[in-house]
A and B are shown apart, each in its own frame.
Chain A
Amino acid sequence: MTSPARQLRGKDERAPVALSDRAMDNLRFIRETMERSASFTHVSGIGGVAMGLVAVAAAWAASRTTSDGAWLSIWLGAAGASFALSAFLMGRKSRAEGVALLSGPGRRFAWSMTPALAAGGVLTAALARGGHFGLLPGTWLLLYGASIVTGGSHSVRPVPVMGMAFMLAGVAALASPPAWGDAYMAAAFGGLHVVFGLLIWRKHGG
């Protein structure tokens, strides 16, 4: 609908406004196309390898504990250390390429991962409270994989493929005896991170 102020203007004055709108629309189109097309390429290959090594160490330590509380603390500590390491190394890779980590694609990557990770946090609390520690490894692998698949849809191809591998590992862990939990965690959080980390490092930089 035409605004009253606009109706008062003469015909000659309306055209430049429309032209300006069109120019702004063109600039908006360019910016949106650039943002949509940009992949999040700052997933750190070195970060993946580092996370894998942390997971292998945690699996070794967790397999030696006898209390569920200590077992859970080790894995939560490993998750925190991995997150911090990964964020630091992604930030370093972004800075090296002169791009803000949380620019358009990076922000979409982070937001896309959040729902599945948040669901994992809630399920961890619920399962631990009910004493179902044996279900935790499969749940973590499945939801971490889901978060990587969704986040990875804005990133380079090895990332969502890694997410799917994690999801398959999660399904296998949930279908296996609970005692195999640490082995699955070492194989997936350790092995998959190292393998895909090296692949990303080689193809898309550290």
Chain B
Amino acid sequence: MAASSGAVRRRSLEPAERAPGNLDAVHGRTQESGPLELDQLIHERVRLGIVSALAVNGSLTFTDLRDLLGTTDGNLSAHARRLEDAGYVACKKSFDGRTPRTEYGLTEVGKRALNAYLDHMEAIIDATRE
């Protein structure tokens, strides 16, 4: 059984916000293959929402993202800034007439990070099924 063989380190999973920083024992992985780090930057819900939405749209405006995720301007701005600082999203500022327009797009680094996160979630599900 996965749990008894220590498929996933349980201690690092509670509470959710501090959840698994270093899941290096997911089933099928060895210490040699390197630790399976959970990307805390993407793991947060608003940031996960931003990255997911940008993955299927070439670009989205600040307003699109705010309405889609049902968050406030300040909250979205703070989370988008963290993703931008990490190089996951690129921000382009322009003017639509006289109205300022902020547009976000997912970078290659961001795409790779989302794919790694998806792989990680699938690995956890697979590990607990066995």
Contact = CB atoms under 8 A, between A and B. Distances in A.
A16 B124 CA distance: 9
Contacts of B127: 16
Given A12-B4, A19-B124, A24-B125, A29 B49 contact: yes
Contacts of A22: 13, 16, 19
A44 to B, nearest CB: 19
Interface string B1-30: 111100110100100100100000000000
A34 B16 CA distance: 23
Given A27-B121, A33-B68, A19 B52 contact: no
A12 B3 contact: yes
B3 A29 contact: no
B90 interface: no
Contacts, number: 73
B116 to A, nearest CB: 13
A36 interface: yes
B56 A37 contact: yes
Contacts of A20: 124-125, 128-129
Contacts of B78: none
A30 B58 CA distance: 17
B69 to A, nearest CB: 8
Contacts of B8: 16, 19
A38 B57 contact: yes
Nearest to A41: B57
A34 B69 CA distance: 11
Contact of A15 (B3, B53, B64, B122): B3
Contact of B56 (A12, A18, A26, A34): A34
A112 to B, nearest CB: 17
B109 interface: no
Contact of A38 (B10, B16, B43, B56): B56
A13 B1 contact: yes
A39 interface: yes
A27 B7 CA distance: 20
A17 interface: yes
Nearest to A31: B52
Contacts of A70: none
Contact of B45 (A12, A19, A29, A39): A29
A27 B49 CA distance: 11
11 contacts: A12-B10, A15-B3, A17-B128, A19-B10, A20-B125, A23-B125, A27-B118, A29-B48, A33-B68, A34-B53, A34-B55
The 8 A-B pairs of least Cβ separation, nearest first, read A20-B128, A37-B53, A23-B124, A33-B52, A16-B128, A23-B121, A15-B10, A16-B3
Interface of A: 12-13, 15-20, 22-24, 26-27, 29-30, 33-34, 36-39
